Amino acid sequence: MPRLVLASSSPYRRQLLERLALPFTWAAPDIDESHRPNETPTALAHRLALGKAQAVTAQFPEHLIIGSDQLALFEDDILGKPGNHATACANLRRFSGQRVRFMTGLALVDTANGRHWVTHDTYDVHFRQLSDAEIEAYVSRERPFDSAGSFRMEGLGIALFERFEGNDPNTLIGLPLMRLCELLREAGMDPLAAAPQGS
């Protein structure tokens, strides 16, 4: 079994992790993703990312486990997955012509050595002015009900924006690969090494 584990059921995160060319397996975590009273966006992103990784530790006692979770931040609101058509359309109407910040929490749990790291990355998107017809057409075609921000960057969502600001566009899809590489190196698994250390 690979030493690296992705604690996520997201096919998009799996596709991103495949870019590092490291063997890995994945498992779907089951955690409560609700926002706690007075919890800051950073605290929430960190808690959910770490919680996802920790949720599968019993299955993987000698592994490096990756957890990640994404929030959309707009006008002091923390927005998770819309869940349905009406909410997705309402979100996109609010976002039309506006800047929305995405915060993606990232955790790496080393179950073999009892260590963990938690961080996050942010990425800003500037939405075009969107008509109701465009919003309705987009949501009907792509059904982004399980995506924070009510769009999928991996698909037709690119047509919603006029520009981006950030260091790592993978953050917007849901897995900050640049920061993940930093954490993996700290844990002794360098993606650029001929053979990962400690394997």
Pair 26, 18: CB distance under 8 Å: no
Residues of the chain where predicted confidence (pLDDT) is lower than 70 = 1, 194-199
Interval 57-85: pLDDT, tens = 999 999 999 999 999 999 989 988 899 99
The per-residue pLDDT of the chain, averaged, comes to 91
In this predicted structure, what is the pLDDT of residue 1? Answer: 59
In this predicted structure, what is the pLDDT of residue 128? Answer: 97
CA-nearest of 42, 39, 182, 177 to 101 is 42
**Angstrom distance (rounded) from CA 63 to CA 28:** 16
Catalogue all structural domains in the chain, each as residue range(s) with its CATH number: 4-186 (3.90.950.10)
In this predicted structure, what is the pLDDT of residue 154? Answer: 77
Q: Which residues are catalytic?
A: 69
Could you tell me which residues come within 8 angstroms of residue 83 by beta carbon, excluding any fewer than 6 positions away?
145, 146
Q: What is the pTM of this model?
A: 0.88
